[in-house]
């Protein structure tokens, strides 16, 4: 068993597609150029034209857009197994920024290598495209949450989505997971003020639903959280095209 078989990306893709040895080898190759980045130092700045994408293998990242008035909106968080800047390398200059929330490990993927991989293993291309599509579905769900759910439901939904994503790459379970986010991150992601995030977390804790403390999320009442957050994991779980 080569090391890459335990990589988060392989775990994620394998949950939906049985990868052949050849495909695993290609993925292995893509993981060659390992790099490290420090927490808090932006990877890509808004508007910058970028040549490389990354496969995140350890640590957390957020992608966000800055407003002229200084506020920011976090669009998504990336966890191990996720791509960074996939679209910008293929199609256009990046329209948002990436900030590592922790020190991270990522494999740099050059445009040429990626296109080669897609040419030689089209099934892998479809698998990656499927992952990108899933990411987009998450952004849409995020949009719905901010537009139509109140603060409590938003938080519940968000924590459940994270639990589900992390479990897929073996970094947590229904009972809980480690999470390096601060309440400021939660605020910027959920479109709330940090103060209100604190109050909402307290309320969820006091109602025995979930506790977020010292970098760890403990889910006490999974059912209750699902109900409160109107969480329907369909948008995360749908089968890719390859298993049909």
Query: Which residues of the chain form contacts with DNA (CB under 7 A)?
Result: 150-152, 182-184, 191-196, 198-199, 201-202, 213
224 interacts with, out of DNA, a copy of itself, none, CB within 5 to 8 A per kind: none
Rounded CA separation 57/104 (Å): 8
Query: What are the start-end ranges of the E strands in the chain?
Result: 34-37, 52-58, 61-66, 72-78, 83-84, 97-100, 104-110, 176-178, 210-213, 216-219
Nearest approach, Cβ of 190 to DNA (angstroms)?
8
Which of residues 64 and 212 has its CB atom nearest to a copy of itself in the complex? Answer: 64
Which of residues 79 and 192 has its CB atom nearest to DNA in the complex? Answer: 192
Sheet holding 52-58, edge to edge: 34-37, 104-110, 52-58, 83-84
130 interacts with, out of a copy of itself, DNA, none, CB within 5 to 8 A per kind: a copy of itself
Which residues 6+ apart lie within 8 Å of 232 measured at CB?
A: none
The site for a copy of itself (CB under 8 A) is made up of: 47, 65, 67-69, 71-73, 75, 87, 90-93, 95-96, 126, 129-130, 133, 136-137, 139-144, 146-149, 190-191, 230, 234-235, 238-241
Which of residues 139 and 195 has its CB atom nearest to DNA in the complex? Answer: 195
Q: Give, as one character, the DSSP assignment of residue 5.
A: G
Structure token pair of residue 108: 């740099």
Which of residues 3 and 147 has its CB atom nearest to a copy of itself in the complex? Answer: 147
Task: Give me the residue label for tokens 């760890």.
Answer: 216
């Amino acid at each position: 068993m080569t090391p890459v078989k335990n990589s988060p990306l392989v775990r994620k893709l394998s949950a939906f597609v049985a990868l052949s040895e050849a495909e695993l080898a290609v993925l292995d190759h893509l993981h060659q150029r390992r790099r490290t980045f420090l927490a808090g130092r932006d990877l890509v700045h808004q508007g910058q034209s970028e040549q490389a994408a990354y496969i995140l293998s350890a640590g957390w990242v957020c992608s966000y857009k800055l407003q002229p008035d200084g506020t920011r909106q976090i669009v998504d968080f990336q966890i191990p197994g996720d791509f960074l800047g996939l679209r910008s390398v293929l199609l256009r200059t990046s329209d948002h920024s990436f900030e590592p929330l922790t020190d991270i490990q990522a494999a740099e993927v050059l445009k040429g290598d990626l296109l080669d991989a897609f040419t030689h293993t089209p099934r892998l291309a479809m698998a990656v495209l499927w992952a990108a599509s899933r990411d987009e579905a998450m952004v849409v769900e995020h949009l719905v949450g901010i537009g139509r759910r109140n603060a409590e439901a938003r938080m519940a939904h968000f924590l459940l989505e994270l639990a589900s994503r992390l479990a897929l790459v073996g970094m947590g379970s229904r009972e809980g997971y480690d999470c390096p986010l601060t309440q400021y991150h939660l605020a910027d992601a959920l479109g709330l003020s940090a103060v209100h995030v604190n109050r909402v977390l307290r309320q969820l804790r006091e109602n025995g639903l979930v506790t977020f403390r010292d970098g760890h999320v403990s889910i006490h009442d999974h059912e209750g959280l699902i109900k409160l957050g109107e969480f329907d994991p369909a948008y995360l779980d749908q089968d890719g095209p390859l298993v049909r």
